[in-house]
Amino acid sequence: MPQPGLREVEHEITVSAPATAVYRLIAEVQNWPRIFPPTIHVDHVEKSGRTERIRIWATANGEAKNWTSHRTLDPEQLRITFRQEVSAPPVASMGGTWVIEPLSGSTARVRLLHDYRAVDDDPQSLRWIDEAVDRNSRSELAALKTNVELAHAAEELTFSFEDTVHVAGSAKDVYDFINEAHLWSERLPHVATVRLDEDTPGLQTLEMDTRAKDGSVHTTKSYRVTFPHHKIAYKQVTLPALMTLHTGYWTFAESGAGVAASSQHTVTINTENITRILGADATVADAREYVRTALSTNSRATLNHAKDYAEAKA
């Protein structure tokens, strides 16, 4: 019998991939921002054998939240149990299990079980959680199905790269420049307007209008997670036509010679729009080069302005 006030729900989906491959994808949390639309960033807090603590930043009903979960991995039974350590209101407690069941050598059923309560068992809060869990579960399972089934194609379409600038200054000053994105329209020529919200310390919503070389203006929205003064991770949620994914992070590594300030990007190309954007003869390689050049140009410009800012304060 379920406890009063405790909600138990289940979602499932069938995936055209071996059960062991599906299990690995869920077990490797560093890939979550790529495969689960609501997830912004995941960090390991502790890891010992088959148990671990992870910190997750994700959106729920359009709001950015973060929490810490305990997980127990069972690769033999293809099960992963999880329990939030400290839930974000209005959630009082949240846990569940991933269960991967082989249907054949090349297909699997993925079951996602949740149990949760609302703070003070408030009915309105419970309805909010019901809606968030249902939306996120459906989104996570659909994304999992898509990403597992397209794994081979994604090897060509997904790529990462990094740009680094060396700064004769402090990591704090370089970090401050990147963190203070609300000032970018004054500090960066390619940024027209900025809207930065940080209702929860360290968790930001950033909307920007940026100018391209041809004079056109593009609006982007990202969620950012900040780790003073060494890292800012982000996930872009409004994407240009040539991308289906854009995640990344800024890092600031101090050494005796100053700071190595880097911008890392992970991108998946949207093949459906290559011809429309780049022409009938354009290839995936052309799209990769186009996207990399565009992102690197803006990143290096931002890093060089950060360098000037930090070195002027040194």
- If you average pLDDT over every residue of the chain, what do you get? 91
Considering the domain architecture, whether residues 191 and 107 belong to the same structural domain is answered as no
- Split at pLDDT 50, 70, 90, the class of 257 is confident
- 2 falls within a domain: no
How would you label 158-185 residue by residue, b for 16+ Cβ within 10 Å and e otherwise?
Answer: beebebebebebbbbbbbbbbbebeebb
Identify the pLDDT of residue 32. Answer: 84
- 251 falls within a domain: yes
Identify the pLDDT of residue 151. Answer: 59
The whole domain housing 145 covers 7-149
Considering the domain architecture, whether residues 163 and 123 belong to the same structural domain is answered as no
Considering the domain architecture, whether residues 23 and 145 belong to the same structural domain is answered as yes
Question: What is the total count of domains within the chain?
Answer: 2
Considering the domain architecture, whether residues 11 and 117 belong to the same structural domain is answered as yes
Considering the domain architecture, whether residues 64 and 165 belong to the same structural domain is answered as no
Q: Which of 82, 116, 149 is the last residue of a domain?
A: 149
Longest pairwise C-alpha distance within the chain: 66
Identify the pLDDT of residue 282. Answer: 95
Identify the pLDDT of residue 262. Answer: 98
pTM: 0.80
pLDDT tens digits for range 104-132: 998 999 999 999 999 999 999 999 999 99
Question: Residue 154: what are its φ and ψ, rounded to 5°?
Answer: -65, -25
pLDDT tens digits for range 164-216: 999 999 999 999 999 999 999 999 998 999 999 998 889 999 999 988 777 78
Cα distance between residue 182 and residue 265, in whole Å: 21
128: domain CATH number? 3.30.530.20
Task: Please state the rounded mean pLDDT for residues 92-103.
Answer: 95
Identify the pLDDT of residue 256. Answer: 82
Considering the domain architecture, whether residues 113 and 215 belong to the same structural domain is answered as no
Identify the pLDDT of residue 155. Answer: 67
Considering the domain architecture, whether residues 135 and 187 belong to the same structural domain is answered as no
Identify the pLDDT of residue 52. Answer: 96
pLDDT beyond 90 at 84: no
Considering the domain architecture, whether residues 185 and 88 belong to the same structural domain is answered as no
Identify the pLDDT of residue 31. Answer: 81
Considering the domain architecture, whether residues 111 and 207 belong to the same structural domain is answered as no
Considering the domain architecture, whether residues 140 and 25 belong to the same structural domain is answered as yes
Considering the domain architecture, whether residues 187 and 268 belong to the same structural domain is answered as yes
- 189 falls within a domain: yes
Considering the domain architecture, whether residues 221 and 273 belong to the same structural domain is answered as yes
